């Protein structure tokens, strides 16, 4: 297996049978309880009107954005993006502010609501099974999937494959690869036969949501320095003005006295 530059998943909703083997595999591989695994299944409701009923499901987990908003948002830099794909977490830095949960447009990071001061509450999310990548294996969910609804590999190659699947069966798919451009591009690519909203995916633009936030941040230091300079200027100006008035106030009576003395 050639070295992969940018790891990614491809999920094909037409192949998913909602067996949840991915959740079990994830739970076992990462030693997390089933009800708290890094994967949760979305979109399982029956949609449409009889007789045109349809049901679509998706294992929802971290999108591993190319430009992750959690990395931008974290005050202490607990989140980081590894060059070959995974978005990772440093549990020693996290202060538990949960801003990443708000910042993530896909609402992925989860928090330990049941851990107190001594339990050590932390954030949790999919790690792309980095421990398996190190030894040349695929993530546990992908390896377990019985219908090849999940595939893992080089991002560019998977995007090409997704488009060729659509081209081969245009009647089967919506002509869009979710994640190719969404939020600046993600490493979880999704093909679907139902609108992506029905899979629980948000409607996000192609620019990462962090861009406006970071632009505002860049403007802040010059603005703050300018504002500080203006205020200092006003303060000094008012002070000098007051001193001049005081001085004038003191000199005036003296002049009057002198003038009066001259007359005498």
Partner 1 sequence: MKIDIAVPSRLYHFRPNPLPVILVALMAIGLAVAMVRFASGIGAISNLSNTYPWGFWISFDIYTGIAISSGAFLLAAAVYIFEIRSLRPLLMPTILTALLGYFMEVLALMVDLGRPERIFNMLFYQNFTSWMLVVGLCVMIYLAILAVEIAPIFLRGLKQDKWAHFARRFIKPAVILGVVVSTIHQGSLGALLLIQSAKLHPLWWTPLLPVMFFVSSISIGLAMVIFESSMTSRYFKSHHLEIKLLAKVAGAIPYAVGIYAVLRFAQLFLSGNSQYLFSSGLMSVLFWVEIVIGVVVPFILFISPRNRADPRTLLIGAIILLVGMVLNRFNVSWFGIHRLQEVGYVPSLAEISISLAIFSFGILAFGLGARYLPLFEDSDAIAERA
| Residue 73-102 contact track with partner 1, rule CB under 8 A, x = bound | xxxxxx--------------xxxxxxx-xx
For residues 137-154, b (16+ Cβ closer than 10 Å) or e, as one string? ebbbbbebbeeebbbbbb
Half-sphere exposure of 139 (CA within 13 A, CB side): 30
Which residue, 218 or 264, is less far from partner 1 as judged by CB? 218
- Kindly state whether residue 245 participates in binding partner 1, applying the rule CB under 8 A: no
Stretch that binds partner 1, among 15-23, 115-123, 126-134, 145-153 (CB under 8 A): 115-123
Among 7-15, 72-80, 155-163, 188-196, the segment contacting partner 1 (CB under 8 A): 72-80
Q: Which range touches partner 1 (CB under 8 A), out of 8-16, 156-164, 171-179, 213-221?
A: 213-221
Between 123 and 159, name the residue whose CB sits nearer to partner 1: 123
Minimum distance, C-beta of residue 148 to partner 1, in the bound complex (Å) = 27
Residue 257: phi and psi, rounded to 5, are -60, -45
Question: Per this entry, what is the length of the chain?
Answer: 264
> Does the footprint of partner 1 cover residue 185 (CB under 8 A)?
no
Query: 220 in helix, strand or coil?
Result: helix
Residue 105: φ, ψ to 5°: -65, -15
Q: Is 117 in the site for partner 1 (CB under 8 A)?
A: yes
Alpha-carbon distance 115 to 229, whole Å? 47
Which lies closer to partner 1 via its Cβ, residue 43 or residue 144? 43
Residue 120 beta carbon to partner 1: minimum distance, rounded to whole angstroms: 8
Closest CA to 131 of 26, 21, 263: 26
Q: Which of 48, 120, 146, 170 binds partner 1 (CB under 8 A)?
A: 120
- Rounded to an integer, what distance in angstroms lies between the CA atom of residue 156 and that of residue 149? 18
Kindly report the number of other CB atoms within 10 A of residue 251's CB atom: 10
For residue 209, the SS3 value is coil
Residues 7-66 that bind partner 1 (CB under 8 A): none
> Which residue, chain included where needed, has tokens 């100006």?
237
Q: Compare residues 172 and 244 and give the one whose CB is closer to partner 1.
A: 244
Contact residues: partner 1, CB under 8 A: 69, 72-78, 93-99, 101-103, 105-107, 110-122, 200, 202-205, 209-210, 212-217, 220, 224, 227-228, 231-232, 234-235, 238, 242
């Amino acid at each position: 297996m050639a070295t992969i530059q940018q790891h990614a998943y491809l999920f094909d909703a037409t192949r998913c049978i909602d067996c949840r083997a991915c959740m079990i595999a994830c739970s076992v591989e990462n030693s997390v309880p089933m009800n708290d695994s890094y994967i949760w299944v979305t979109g399982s409701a029956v949609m449409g009107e009889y007789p045109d009923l349809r049901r679509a499901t998706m294992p929802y987990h971290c999108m591993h954005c190319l430009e992750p908003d959690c990395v931008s948002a974290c005050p202490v830099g607990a989140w980081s993006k590894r060059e070959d794909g995974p978005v990772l977490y440093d549990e020693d830095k996290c202060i538990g502010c949960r801003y990443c949960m708000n910042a993530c447009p896909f609402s992925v990071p989860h928090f330990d609501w049941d851990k107190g001061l001594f339990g050590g509450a932390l954030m949790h999310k999919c790690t792309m099974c980095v421990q398996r990548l190190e030894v040349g294996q695929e993530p546990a969910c992908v390896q377990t999937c019985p219908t090849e609804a999940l595939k893992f590999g080089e991002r560019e190659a998977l995007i090409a494959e997704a488009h060729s699947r659509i081209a081969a069966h245009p009647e089967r798919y919506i002509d869009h690869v979710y994640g190719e451009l969404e939020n600046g591009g993600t490493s979880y690519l999704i093909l679907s036969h139902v609108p992506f909203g029905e899979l629980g995916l948000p409607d996000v633009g192609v620019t990462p949501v962090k861009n406006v936030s970071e632009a505002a941040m860049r403007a802040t230091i010059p603005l703050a320095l300018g504002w500080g300079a203006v205020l200092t200027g006003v303060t000094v100006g008012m002070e000098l003005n007051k001193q001049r008035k005081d001085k004038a106030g003191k000199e005036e009576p003296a002049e009057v006295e002198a003038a009066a003395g001259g007359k005498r």
